[in-house]
Amino acid sequence: MKIINAILLSCLLTVITSGQAATLPEQPHISVSGAAKIAVKPDTVRIQFQSIALENDADNAKQVVDLQVQQVLSQLQKNGFDQALLTRADVQLRPEYEYIEKKRTQVGIKATRNLSYQLDDVEKINKFLQILVKNDISNIGQINYALKDPLQWQIKARDLAVQDSINKAEGLAKSYHASLGNVYSVNYHNNNAQPILMRAMESDQIAPSYQNNQIEINERVEAVFLLNP
């Protein structure tokens, strides 16, 4: 059995070695990795929040939520925010219960409306949050910072990573008294995920403020260059 296992392992190693050799040129070459990281200030932010009301019946609860949303819209318009950027979900109604003297008792109807706002000027985030607090919006959820056009920054980072690989290859070739030839192959894994920074606001935060950080974009390439003796 040990002999059979040894033969199978030997065959496996031979196959792997042959596969690896097929990806590299037979003539002298050099393999390098290039990396780059750039930090970009976010230029858009989405704020998620809720309007919540607890009343004796569904109609009153819905009216309170609707009125609160209208007040928010009015304040946004008054302060120069575009109302069209506010996304509103349907009002959700459900009975609210509490245990009174160990007995589950309905105490009212809770109305909840999920809202979100796409803010294209991140410098106004604190002003926007203050408007929410002044209109009794205490349930502020995630604050998602992002880039309007992340692709342009990924391309810039990728170009820097490519240049880094060239610089490394040229330096190594010079150290070995050779000159760098043409590129033989490039291995690049693109990360399509948009970088996002997010933070959840505390429900009891009276005067919210937020200082956004920078978004880091990392790119990496692997390249094989031919060498001229």
Q: Is 27 exposed, middle or buried (0-12, 13-18, 19+ CB in 10 A)?
A: exposed
Would you say residue 4 has pLDDT above 80? no
Q: For all residues of the chain together, what is the average pLDDT?
A: 83
Q: How far apart are alpha carbons 169 and 34 in whole angstroms?
A: 9
Query: Could you tell me which CATH class the domain 45-139 is placed in?
Result: alpha beta
Sequence-ordered list of residues with C-beta below 8 angstroms from that of 160, at least 6 positions apart, any chain: 36, 38, 219
pLDDT tens profile 140-176: 998 999 999 999 999 999 999 999 999 999 999 999 9
Pick the CATH number of 28-41+149-228 from 3.90.79.10, 3.40.50.920, 1.10.760.10, 3.30.110.170: 3.30.110.170
pLDDT tens profile 84-128: 999 999 999 999 998 888 888 888 999 999 999 999 999 999 999
- 226 pLDDT band, cuts 50/70/90, is very high
Domain boundaries, the chain: 28-41+149-228, 45-139
Would you say residue 40 has pLDDT above 60? yes
The pLDDT, as a whole number, for residue 191 is: 63
* 53 strand-pairing partners: 111
pTM (two decimals): 0.69
The pLDDT, as a whole number, for residue 169 is: 95
The pLDDT, as a whole number, for residue 189 is: 77
* Backbone φ, ψ for residue 208 (5° rounding): -70, 145
The pLDDT, as a whole number, for residue 138 is: 79
Would you say residue 63 has pLDDT above 80? yes
